[in-house]
Structures are given as C-alpha cells and as structure tokens.
Amino acid sequence: MDRRAIMLSLGALVLLLVGVLLLSRSPMSEGHAAPARGSSATRDAPWNIVVIVMDTARQDRLSCYGHDRETSPRLTQLAESATIYSNAYSTSSWTGPGHASLFTGLYSVSHGATQENWSMSEDLLTFAEVLSMRGYRTVGVVENPMLLSDRGYAQGFSEYYESWRTGAKRSSGQAVEDFRRTLDGGAPGQPFLVFVNLIAPHSPYDSSRQFRNSFVTRPELGVDSSMWREYYTGRRSFSANEIQHLNELYDAELLYTDYLVGEMIDELVALDLWDDTVFIVTSDHGENIGDHAHMDHVFTLFETTTKIPLIVHQPELFPAGMTKDVPVQLTDIFPTVLEIAGVDVQDFLSHGYSLLGDAVPENREIFTEYYYPTQILSCFGREEHRQSSLLTPYLRRIRSLTRGDMKFVWGGDGRHELYDLAHDPDELTNLIESRKHSDVRHDMETRLTAWFRELEQDRDDGPPGDNSEELDEATKEALRSLGYME
C-alpha cells in the first residue's frame, strides 16, 4: 500500500474518533499548538476556510508591508483586524513547488514537484483531502495553467475550476465569479475550504487595465511577454526607463489583485459568512525586475523571489492588528488549516508548524530549493537558444538555509553564497570567501547537507527526465500568455 493510501486510511480512522481523542489527549507536543480559543475543538460549528494565493506577489512591493506606492489598500485594511507575518517565505521561487508545499506541508525534496518534475504525485496527501474526510466542501479556483488537474494539483478538491478553460482572458476576474458561484452552492451549513490562485501579478503584467494609470508614467513604453527569455539569451537588454516601466506595471498588477481579493471579502460579508471564515492571503513566490541582474522568477533564491506576504484573518483565532516576525513558510499552511478544522495535526506528516498559538520557534531555520531548470529551459524553444552560453551559469540546482540574519546558498556547481541580511538586506555582498565568516559558512553548509539527509533525499545534479506530456490547446494557449511556451 502506498504512503497516500496509508495516510488516507489512518486519517479516516482518526477523523471518526477525533471527538474522543480531543477529549482524552494531553496538550500537543512541541512543534504544534494546542487548539486555540474558538477553534473547531471548542466551537459548535466548524470554521469555513479560504486560502488565496496572489501568484508572483513579493512581500516588499505591497503597501501593507511598507512599499511607498499604495499597491494593497484592501490588504492594509484587512491587516487592521488580522495577523500579518513579516518574515514569511515560500519554499522555492516557482509555482509548482510553492503550491505543492502549501497543499501538503512538505518541502520540495519530499513532495517532488519541482522545476524538474512538474506534477504532484498521487501518493501525496493534501489539506483538501483531509478536510474532505472531515465533511468539508472543497473547491479549487485556479488561474495559473501550471496548476493543472492533470498534473495532480486538484487532489482532494470536489470541484476544481481552471479559469483558462472558459475562454476568458488571462486574469479577467473569472476567478472571482467562480468564487461567488462556490459561495452560492453547497449544502446549507456545510463548511467549505476554498482555494483561489490569482495570476495577475505574473508577467507579462498586462491584466490590470483600469488600474494601470495609477502608477504608469510612460505608457508608450511597451512590454513583451517573452521579455525574460530574450533577456537571458542576450537578444534584449533593458534601459533604466524600461526597468522603471516594468516595475510600475508590476505594481499596477498588485493593485488589481488587491482589488480582486477585496471583491471576495465583500462577497463573504454580503452573504453573512465573514465572521465564520478564516481568511488566509499569501503568495507562491516573488519576482525579479532587474534585481540582481535577473528578470522574472527563474534561476535564483534571492529574497526578492522567496519572501512573500502572509496575512491571516479571524480575530477569534489570530490576534487582530498584530505583526509577527517569527520565521514562517508555506509548509505551515497545511497544519494550520487542519488544526482550524479540528484535526489533530500530529497524525499527519508535515514539515510545518501550525500558526495557531505560539508553536513556531523564534530561531526556526528557513529552507528553500530550486532544482535543475528543466521547466525554464523548455520555454526557450529553439535548440540554439536552450544551449546559449549565457544560460550555462544557471544549469545547476541551488538550495538555501537562513538562520537568523545569515543566509547560505548552496550551488550544485560549487558556487556558494553567504549573506548577512541584517547589514545587507538586498544581498549585494557575497561573504562566502570572508575569513571572518568561515565558521558560519562551514556550520550552515553542514546543516543544509544534514537537513537533506534527514529527508532521505540526496541526489546528484544533472538533467532530469522528460515532462513533455501532451497538453490540450486551451492550456497551451494559457501557457503561451505567460511566456511559458513558444
């Protein structure tokens, strides 16, 4: 019997007995918080749960995190009665591994959905599967075509809406319509888990329409959906004015996404569901727009691509108006969702901590991974572009460990990096050759290696297998709109 089948069988038994277990158990062990006041363990009716991913939204570009342009007025308003996490991270810098970690609570090295393998294994157990067993209606609404049901991302969702199949333009607001339809459906009184992926912040930054004039100062400057591919093969460079223009467009995309999140909040309020809902807003990764001489979110694990927003609203469970600076990651959403639903998280494998209570250690280490860039190389089309010498430095795996203010980046080709984030938050000075930091470097490299061994995954660098499964035409067109296909 595979791991997923075992976990499903165990989970079903646990959920049947959960009432007895909750009455008889002592407080949970280290790594998980005991049920908070108002959780399903002490509440007559279960909580509804909404998880929204603002695809490609980096933390420092949201005004609720201090950005100088007002890119997130609705999130700023939401944060006044929510808990906002200032030190939140993805587990990678790409959609597939980030979402897989969100759904399963596992790092890429364990869930296996990476830049090398674009699918989620059916052996994995997702929060949607667990909550389905708990009696929840589980709905997924996705705008990113990388989150195909055919690639396993729909596991556990009783309904899964892929917006690009409706014929609607990219990020046309179809996801909000699907969200509204979700709230109008379902059995009376049945709790729901709704996951929504909003694609707007993703390049080519052309979704914002009515919000574009908010920040764009030179609309005559154009942007092409294949800009990052042309950049990495040396066919195009970007002037300072063009970089500024792209940043303004990106901020407009964030403002539009913030508006869509606000629309969903308003719908919950209008249907008198808001007070009974835990509302979680986060991202799968960030973005480079000229940062570190990079474009898009490829080839790197810089803070610009891994540090993300995380806001959780439900004042009965999460303190209103509080900013928490403990290090948290997407792996924490899985145990958090389970515990909100009254499920004992100790009975399910997870690398995360529940955000209920104070389970997250102050000295928690942050791990991120970026695998051999097969997914990106497939986007370049012609063989001569894939073999461009300009791409050679990026043909490797990288991993990072952040402990306190120090960040170590391991390169599969032997090119490692070390940064002091307290004194160098933009990661401009690589300290890897610094004698002063040699002990830190050695200790962190040893720890990163040990961490991989703990997860029983220690593979050699090199080109992986084939991911060229046949896609339907609607999905191909959606991927082209993101610059992911020729």
Residue 389, pLDDT > 50, answer yes
- Of 207, 210, 162, 159, which Cα lies nearest the Cα of 185? 159
CB–CB of 175/162 below 8 Å?
A: no
The pLDDT, as a whole number, for residue 12 is: 46
More confident of the two residues 318 and 388: 318
By CB neighbour count within 10 A (0-12 exposed, 13-18 middle, 19+ buried), where does 345 fall? buried
Span 216-226, average pLDDT: 79
Residue 287, pLDDT > 60, answer yes
Write out pLDDT tens, residues 372-382. 998 888 888 76
The pLDDT, as a whole number, for residue 476 is: 58
Most confident of 74-83, 202-211, 448-457, 469-478: 74-83
More confident of the two residues 416 and 385: 416
Domains in the chain with CATH codes: 3-364 (3.40.720.10), 368-481 (3.30.1120.10)
The pLDDT, as a whole number, for residue 313 is: 98
**Range of lowest pLDDT (216-220, 302-306, 320-324, 433-437):** 216-220
**Range of lowest pLDDT (6-10, 45-49, 200-204, 312-316):** 6-10
The pLDDT, as a whole number, for residue 382 is: 67
Span 432-446, average pLDDT: 97
Write out pLDDT tens, residues 2-34. 545 544 444 444 443 333 332 232 222 333 333
Write out pLDDT tens, residues 290-331. 999 999 999 999 999 999 999 999 999 999 999 999 999 999
The pLDDT, as a whole number, for residue 164 is: 84
The pLDDT, as a whole number, for residue 417 is: 98
